[in-house]
Amino acid sequence: MVDGFSDCHELYMAGFTVSGVYSIKPDGTLFMDTVYCEMVNKTGYTVLQRRVDGLLNFNRRWLEYRYGFGNPYAEFWIGNDKMHALTTQKQYILRIDIWDWEGNKAYAEYNSFSVEDAEQQFRLHIGGYYGDAGDSFSYHDNMVFSTEDVDNDLHTRNCAAENKGGWWFNSCYSCHLNGIYHTAWYPQAQSKYADGISWYTWKDSEFYSLKKVEMKIRPKTP
């Protein structure tokens, strides 16, 4: 265990330059939290979410998304409480890396990213896009989090229940990285709703599910 560091970038700057699982203590929190740190490009990214093989079910309830689930070495969701603690202690850049089934990779970075607390239902604030994946996430700016048992979206139906995962749904989504792990193009007959792992501005289809996804943050001003 490493004491006294609030995120992965601080660990990197202190000489911990190997990617892996570390313990951090974000400002204002009482206990250490375990996170996966990706140490690359002269910084340490704190990884928030990862999809790689479909072995973990992301169709979970509010409290599971609040506290987090999965294995930081494999597929996981860091937890909305942790995400709030991290993104309100300083300003962060969010990077999202996405891979398709044809061997291509794209990315989106957002120069502004933060998540409010549970009382505010983990409202998302995001902006300042750049990258080559297209801007699918800004549609979700200022949305609160929804799960199958807590429907906060702007649609008349329950987006989280229909699309099989928690997310900051609007009405319903332009990206959804917590959907079902389908293989590439999946027929509408296979699933009544577009419930795969989607980044609409890259593939321009609701019915293309990505092969791999990673969400991670680094400080805006190291």
- Report the range out of 30-34, 123-127, 172-176 with the highest average pLDDT: 123-127
Please state, for a pLDDT cut of 90, what percent of the chain lies above it: 84
Residue 178 has pLDDT above 70, yes or no: yes
What is the residue-averaged pLDDT of the chain?
Answer: 93
In whole angstroms, how far apart are CA 180 and each of 51, 58, 166, 169, 183? 10, 7, 11, 16, 9
For residue 192, what pLDDT is reported?
A: 58
Instruction: Note the pLDDT tens digit of each residue in 9-60.
Output: 999 999 999 999 999 999 878 778 899 999 999 999 999 999 999 999 999 9
In which band, very low, low, confident or very high, does the pLDDT at 128 lie, cut at 50, 70 and 90? very high
For residue 204, what pLDDT is reported?
A: 73
For residue 187, what pLDDT is reported?
A: 54
In which band, very low, low, confident or very high, does the pLDDT at 191 lie, cut at 50, 70 and 90? low
Phi, psi of 144 (to 5 degrees): -95, 165
**Among 76, 100, 97, residue whose Cα is nearest residue 210:** 100
**Sequence-separated (6 or more) residues with CB below 8 Å from residue 95:** 45, 107, 108, 109, 215, 216, 217, 218
Residue 206 has pLDDT above 80, yes or no: no
- Answer yes or no: are the C-beta atoms of 80 and 115 closer than 8 Å: yes
In this structure, of 47-56, 111-120, 186-195, the range with the lowest mean pLDDT score is 186-195
For residue 189, what pLDDT is reported?
A: 46
For residue 98, what pLDDT is reported?
A: 98
For residue 185, what pLDDT is reported?
A: 62
In which band, very low, low, confident or very high, does the pLDDT at 2 lie, cut at 50, 70 and 90? low
Q: How buried is residue 189: exposed, middle or buried, by Cβ count under 10 Å (0-12/13-18/19+)?
A: exposed
